[in-house]
Amino acid sequence: MKHLLKLLDLSTEEIISILDLADQLKYELKHGIPHPLLKGKSLGMIFQKSSTRTRVSFETGIFQLGGQGLFLSSRDLQIGRGEPVQDTARVLSRYLDGIMIRTFEQKEVEDLAQYGSIPVINGLTDFCHPCQVLADLMTIREKYGVLEGLKLCYIGDGDNMANSLIVGGLKTGMKVAVATPAGYKPDASVLSFAEGYKDFVLTENPEEAAADADVVITDTWASMGVEDEKEARKKAFAGYQVNDALMKFAKADAMVQHCLPAYRGQEITEEVFEAHADEIFEEAENRLHAQKAVMVQLMQ
């Protein structure tokens, strides 16, 4: 593995080995065992969109590994004034040991990897959110001990989270059921990947997707970049809320995951969110451990 651009590029074994290392690094952190595996290394963190979790977990994570993180806002970088990504990639490769980037177009991340000579980590694009889904898989495996055979259901927008959950879930042997309204389906490339799996269901019916699910996942109805569609989306997604009535279709002890930020009263009710808050904040914590594992595997 040279980069983490999207989960479609990773084998099942590569995903599992990240999860195993993440578990180990979490254990070591909790037990005060130092792990300076990236001593003296620098990670550049380019942000073209807002972030709480990704920024803080990457910056703290590289520090815990003995390295340093550089927060690079596109408002300050020349990239924000039109310097081509090809040139940015070649320059940053001469200073840094790795780049994390959060941006709009997936192509920008792929270009950074193509023109640079250091590992590139996708910290979210419009297309996918691989770091988040690695943390989700880690959290689900912590609860159930396995991933294979579990049913993951995703309700809501066919966005970056839906795309990565479908790929990550199927590659690790989970059954994946997705309910989105017509017009908000996951990306065509992801659907064509999923077609090869008999345990994949795409429906417009949330109850069908939630039936007997072990894990129920949702995400905002209006991702970063489409905020101006907020009102239209509220109407389109009205029947796609994770609430107590929908949870009755899932298994009695089903867990709930949400990448956050959560919009209570929209994609999830206050009741369901608070009933599953421990699982949701464990998921947020696991961003730190999963990303440390990714950095070690790519940058060591």
Are 74 and 48 a contacting pair, CB within 8 Å?
A: yes
Tell me whether residue 259 is one of the annotated catalytic residues: yes
Tell me whether residue 78 is one of the annotated catalytic residues: no
H helix intervals, the chain = 12-30, 53-64, 85-92, 106-115, 130-144, 160-171, 188-194, 206-210, 230-236, 244-247, 270-275, 277-299
Residues 102-131 that bind ligand NVA (CB under 6 A): 124
Tell me whether residue 31 is one of the annotated catalytic residues: no
Minimal distance, residue 219 CB to ligand NVA, in Å? 5
Contact segment (CB under 6 A) with ligand CP among 49-57, 93-101, 112-120, 148-156 equals 49-57
256 sits near ligand NVA (criterion: CB under 6 A): no
8 sits near ligand CP (criterion: CB under 6 A): no
Minimal distance, residue 129 CB to ligand CP, in Å? 6
Residues 260-289 that bind ligand CP (CB under 6 A): 260
- The neighbour count for residue 222, using CB atoms within 10 Å, is 20
Tell me whether residue 53 is one of the annotated catalytic residues: no
The distance in angstroms from the start CA to the end CA of the chain is: 12
Binding partner selected for residue 160 from ligand CP, ligand NVA, none, CB under the kind-specific 5 to 8 Å limit: ligand NVA
Strand 151-155's sheet: what is its strand order?
A: 200-203, 175-179, 151-155, 215-218, 255-258
Which entry of 48, 132, 241, 266 is annotated as an active-site residue? Answer: 132
Residues 213-252 that bind ligand CP (CB under 6 A): none
Integer Rg of the chain from CA:
19
Which entry of 106, 157, 219, 241 is annotated as an active-site residue? Answer: 219
Residue among 6, 53, 175, 289 that touches ligand CP (CB under 6 A): 53
Are 19 and 46 a contacting pair, CB within 8 Å?
A: no
178 sits near ligand CP (criterion: CB under 6 A): no
Burial class (CB within 10 angstroms; exposed 0-12, middle 13-18, buried 19+) of 265: exposed
52 sits near ligand CP (criterion: CB under 6 A): yes
Separation between Cα atoms, residue 60 and residue 57, nearest integer Å: 5
Minimal distance, residue 165 CB to ligand NVA, in Å? 11
167 sits near ligand NVA (criterion: CB under 6 A): no
Separation between Cα atoms, residue 297 and residue 3, nearest integer Å: 9
Residues 132-161 that bind ligand NVA (CB under 6 A): 159-161
Which entry of 55, 102, 258, 276 is annotated as an active-site residue? Answer: 102
For strands 151-155 and 98-102, give the pairing: unpaired
Residue among 187, 214, 219, 283 that touches ligand NVA (CB under 6 A): 219
For strands 151-155 and 175-179, give the pairing: parallel
296, two tokens: 């070690």
Residue among 62, 109, 112, 124 that touches ligand CP (CB under 6 A): 124
Separation between Cα atoms, residue 162 and residue 129, nearest integer Å: 9
For strands 68-73 and 200-203, give the pairing: unpaired
56 sits near ligand NVA (criterion: CB under 6 A): no
Residue with Cβ nearer ligand NVA (116 or 123): 123
Residues 128-157 that bind ligand CP (CB under 6 A): 132
User: Interface residues with ligand NVA (CB under 6 A)?
Assistant: 124, 159-161, 219-220, 223-224, 259
Residues involved in catalysis: 102, 129, 132, 219, 259, 287
User: Interface residues with ligand CP (CB under 6 A)?
Assistant: 51-54, 124, 132, 259-260
